[in-house]
Amino acid sequence: MIIRVLYLFVLLFCISCAGTQTQTSSNSTGKKNTGGSYGYNEDITGLRQKYPDAKNSSKSVAVYKAPPLNTQYDDSKEVDSLIQVRPNNEEQVTQGYRVLVFSGSDRTEAMEKRKLASKIIPDVTTYLFYNQPYFKVKIGDFLTRIEAQQIYNLAKKDFPEALIISDKINVRGN
């Protein structure tokens, strides 16, 4: 009985190993086909488009030269009249920091917080924004977080919920 089971096991082992051989055949070009992943291989080099070799080409490329510029004409007055110069006192917007001292849905409370912030820090501009459904009171226009930190330290005493936030700020020209 054990011999039959052993004989059957050896027979199955030999049959399973026999199926792993790769089949080789030759195609029309005489190259061997090793079977690839699914036993399909096709030579399509004869179907590819042939391009002329650039080194052996006798064609030349035409190069056109632009005419020289006339630099004798002074058009600065005309150009200056066309340019719209922005005055330096106009406000510009850039990315910076502000201190958020209030965010809530009550308008009267937001107005009170803005007045209080103006009294505590009179040198810095306070803003009241409404983004439905919230009113937000923000203080200052700071280019760096370090500048905002100084005002944050002053505001934190009266506004314990104050935060430094990244925001678009107004920058006044000189």
Stronger pLDDT, 142 or 91, i.e. the higher one: 142
Lowest-confidence pick of 21-30, 63-72, 119-128: 21-30
Per-residue confidence band for 29, with pLDDT thresholds at 50, 70 and 90:
low
34: pLDDT strictly greater than 80: no
In order of their start, the domains of the chain are 97-169 (3.30.70.1070)
Residue whose C-alpha is closest to residue 161's, from 140, 141, 136, 144: 136
Per-residue confidence band for 47, with pLDDT thresholds at 50, 70 and 90:
confident
87: pLDDT strictly greater than 70: no
30: pLDDT strictly greater than 60: no
pTM of the predicted model over 0.85: no
Instruction: Please list the helix, strand and coil fractions of the chain in percent, rounded to the nearest 5, in that order.
Output: 30, 25, 45
Residue 80, pLDDT score: 66
Q: Over the stretch 103-113, which tens digit does the pLDDT of each residue have?
A: 999 999 999 99
